[in-house]
Amino acid sequence: MSTFVLLTITGLGLGAMYFLIASGLSLIYGLMGVLNFAHGAFLTVGAYIAWFADSHFTAIHSVTLRFVLAALCGLAAGAVFAALVELVLIRPLYLRHIEQVLVTVGLSLATVALIQGIWGNDSRLYALPNWTSQTTHVLGASIPNDRWIEIAAAVLLLAGLLAFLRYTRYGLIIRAGVENRAMVTALGIDVRRAFTLVFAIGGFAAALAGVLSGVYFSSVDPGRGTSLLIFAFIVVVIGGLGSIVGSAAAAVIVGLLQQYANYYASSGLGDLSVVLLLAIVLLIRPGGLSGRAAT
């Protein structure tokens, strides 16, 4: 029983990390129709800036406070970087989807190369508070505390995104601009600013995934964004392109499936089982769990 509880909660933690990056990816595609292959670069930038800031906050003796401040720097860097990408690269290409793919793929490769050129290809260790490596006992299972952080962050992000889109002025502008951009512009509302905000939010979510992946793996490397982006795309497709709630449900399924398959079947079969699940969903329900077909 304790093993099953451990696998379930750690699977939820893994799914939470997938959702953190998939949420921004789904948000940007669902609201703006941009399939952003550079989304993993936002994650990598946020993670590395957090690590870099932490290594320079040596005057702060509290490890927890230093980590929190460094994480805030990483989140800000991810949001700013994403906003600049939208302003400089994506805005001129909104009606040119092939060019969007080429530009974002190129940016992803260039970002990884830049990170490697500055800090090398070796993993960089995160200085983490001691309590993150401790465990909490639940029904006989010892659950690493960092998994609870992942789960809490994912729940808060999901609630925040849904509240932003449904109840805030900018959220309503963004939704209206997606439906009829010309009409919203005719009302004197600058839709472009709202779309830049969407990218910034997506970058923030990706950077949050990057920072917490450093907690999850205790280190960060230049390929982290690329490896996690693969599973994020799988989550987005299974959940339904553009559906944040669908992505959350798919992330839970994917995380649990990986954990169960790796333990009860064979180590390494978790990834294969996820790919098989993707194939089954595409064959049976092409629009994903949310039933929304890609447009």
CA quadruple 267, 269, 271, 272: dihedral, nearest 10: 160
Express each pLDDT in 133-187 by its tens digit: 788 888 778 888 888 999 999 999 999 988 988 888 777 777 676 566 666 666 6
- pLDDT (0 to 100) of residue 18: 92
Residue 294 lies in a domain: no
- pLDDT (0 to 100) of residue 110: 92
- pLDDT (0 to 100) of residue 179: 61
> Hey, what amino acid is at 286?
P
Q: What is the mean pLDDT of residues 200-222?
A: 90
Q: How many CB atoms lie under 10 A from the CB of residue 284?
A: 7
| Structural domain containing residue 6 | 2-284
40 CB burial (10 A radius; 0-12, 13-18, 19+)? buried
**pLDDT range class, residue 113, cuts 50, 70, 90:** very high
Q: Per-residue pLDDT for 23 more than 80? A: yes
**pLDDT range class, residue 292, cuts 50, 70, 90:** low
Cα–Cα distance between 199 and 45 in angstroms, integer?
A: 15
Residue 26 lies in a domain: yes
Q: Per-residue pLDDT for 293 more than 50? A: no
Mean pLDDT of the chain: 85
- pLDDT (0 to 100) of residue 97: 77
Residue 295 lies in a domain: no
Q: What percent of the chain has pLDDT over 70?
A: 92
- pLDDT (0 to 100) of residue 69: 93
- pLDDT (0 to 100) of residue 2: 79
Express each pLDDT in 234-284 by its tens digit: 999 898 877 888 889 999 999 999 999 888 877 778 888 888 999 998 888
Question: HEC profile for the chain?
Answer: CHHHHHHHHHHHHHHHHHHHHHHHHHHHHHHHCCCCCCHHHHHHHHHHHHHHHHHHCCCCCCHHHHHHHHHHHHHHHHHHHHHHHHHHHHHHHCCCHHHHHHHHHHHHHHHHHHHHHHHCCCCEECCCCHHHHCEEEECCEEEEHHHHHHHHHHHHHHHHHHHHHHHCHHHHHHHHHHHCHHHHHHCCCCHHHHHHHHHHHHHHHHHHHHHHHHHHHCEECCCHHHHHHHHHHHHHHHHCCCCHHHHHHHHHHHHHHHHHHHHHHCCCHHHHHHHHHHHHHHHHCCCCCCCCCCC
Estimate to the nearest angstrom the gap between the alpha carbon of 192 and the chain centroid. 23
Q: What is the mean pLDDT of residues 3-11?
A: 89
Question: For 28-32, 108-112, 209-213, which range has the lowest pLDDT when averaged over its residues?
Answer: 28-32
Q: Per-residue pLDDT for 77 more than 90? A: yes
How many domains is the chain partitioned into structurally? 1
Residue 138 lies in a domain: yes
Residue 231 lies in a domain: yes
| Token representation of residue 47 | 């993670």
What CATH number is associated with residue 192?
1.10.3470
Residue 293 lies in a domain: no
- pLDDT (0 to 100) of residue 129: 81
Q: What is the mean pLDDT of residues 112-137?
A: 85
Q: Per-residue pLDDT for 96 more than 60? A: yes
Please list the residues that pair with 138 across neighbouring strands: 141
Q: Per-residue pLDDT for 106 more than 70? A: yes
Q: Per-residue pLDDT for 294 more than 50? A: no
Residue 291 lies in a domain: no
Q: Per-residue pLDDT for 205 more than 50? A: yes
Q: Angle at the Cα of 227 (from 226 to 231), degrees rounded to 5? A: 110
Q: Per-residue pLDDT for 295 more than 70? A: no
Residue 217 lies in a domain: yes
Q: What is the mean pLDDT of residues 18-43?
A: 85
Q: What percent of the chain has pLDDT over 90?
A: 30
Cα–Cα distance between 154 and 183 in angstroms, integer?
A: 34
> Hey, what amino acid is at 149?
I
**Higher-scoring residue by pLDDT: 93, 275:** 275
